[in-house]
Amino acid sequence: MDKIQSRRNMLKNMVAGTTALSSAGFISPFYPAGKKLISALKKNINHSVCRWCYGSIPLEEFCVAVKHMGIPAIDLVGPKDWPLLKKYGLDSSMCNGAEISLEDGWNDRQFHARLIDNYKKMIPLVAGAGYKNLICFSGNRRGIDDETGLKHCAEGIRQIMSLAEKNNVMIIMELLNSKIDHKDYQCDRSAWGIELAKRVGSEHFKLLYDIYHMQIDEGDVIRTIKDNHSYFAHYHTGGVPGRHEIDDTQELYYPAIMKAIVETGFKGYVAQEFIPTEETKSGQLAALEKAIKICDV
């Protein structure tokens, strides 16, 4: 098997439950109690990190490490793991578990009944846990043209928005590239996603602007963020090419991108979603710490 798995496969293969560890006083072997790796974040960026990128690290160990780095949240965590995040005072900054898959989404009416049922069940759970953001996906085109895809997505999503608004939950569709990683995915351009947001017509429906994905499919990242930030409720990072570390090995300069985000007045989360090239747990966490420092402008 390829050493670096795709996000799709890692999400499917991630261990269903957390490792059975002591419920009291658990200390990560990588970060001893009381040692803050990042002592004073500037608080201009609300940092988070995507769980799936660190699937080889047991979740409780990961929570401890994240907490000691000063990161307040973990992305893409479902209900079964929320109690563990709460144990360590961490936010679930982007909840998942209502979607069917990246490929089977709102653009195809055959999935509407199942999606509506899933989201109507999940939205109150998100709100009850004290969380805010719930992810969704357009799905693959499968021959559906852009206008029809917009029509179908808006038609389906509108049916869950009154419940989302009542519970103060944001339904957030992710922008993914269709050139390299997610062939045929429909919401692969910011303009398409923005048009969908306009048609849904709710302040509780916005977009996850994935910087890695949009650099691949359209570029012009900083201008897009500045011109359209009101439609973006969440951001993901990743190095281009390869989706690895966001340092000087890749083509994006993240300090400038983060400054542009801060200048828009954004108060949501920016989540690290790069796949560390290091194989060891300590190496992966060191890469995460470095990325947080790069983005902490």
Fold designation for 47-295: TIM Barrel (3.20.20)
Share of the chain above pLDDT 90, in %: 86
Q: Identify the helix (H) or strand (E) that includes residue 275.
A: none
Nearest alpha-carbon partner for 235 in 56, 66, 64, 45: 45
Residue-wise pLDDT for 32-83, tens only, equals 444 455 567 899 999 999 999 999 999 999 999 999 999 999 999 999 999 9
Does residue 8 surpass a pLDDT of 70?
A: no
Q: Evaluate whether 139 touches 103 at the Cβ level (below 8 Å).
A: yes
Q: What's the pLDDT at 40? A: 76
Does residue 17 surpass a pLDDT of 60?
A: no
Structure confidence at residue 31 as a pLDDT band (50, 70, 90) = low
Burial class (CB in 10 A: 0-12, 13-18, 19+), 79: middle
- 112 token code pair: 């509407």
Q: What is the rounded average pLDDT of the residues 240-253?
A: 96
Q: Evaluate whether 236 touches 211 at the Cβ level (below 8 Å).
A: yes
Q: What's the pLDDT at 93? A: 98
| Integer Cα distance of 260 and 226 in angstroms | 7
Structure confidence at residue 239 as a pLDDT band (50, 70, 90) = very high
Could you write out the three-class secondary structure of 161-214? HHHHHHCCCEEEEECCCCCCCCCCECCCCHHHHHHHHHHHCCCCEEEEEEHHHH
| Integer Cα distance of 22 and 43 in angstroms | 32
Task: Report helix, strand or coil for 40.
Answer: coil
Residue-wise pLDDT for 202-225, tens only, equals 999 999 999 999 999 999 999 999
- 98 token code pair: 């209502």
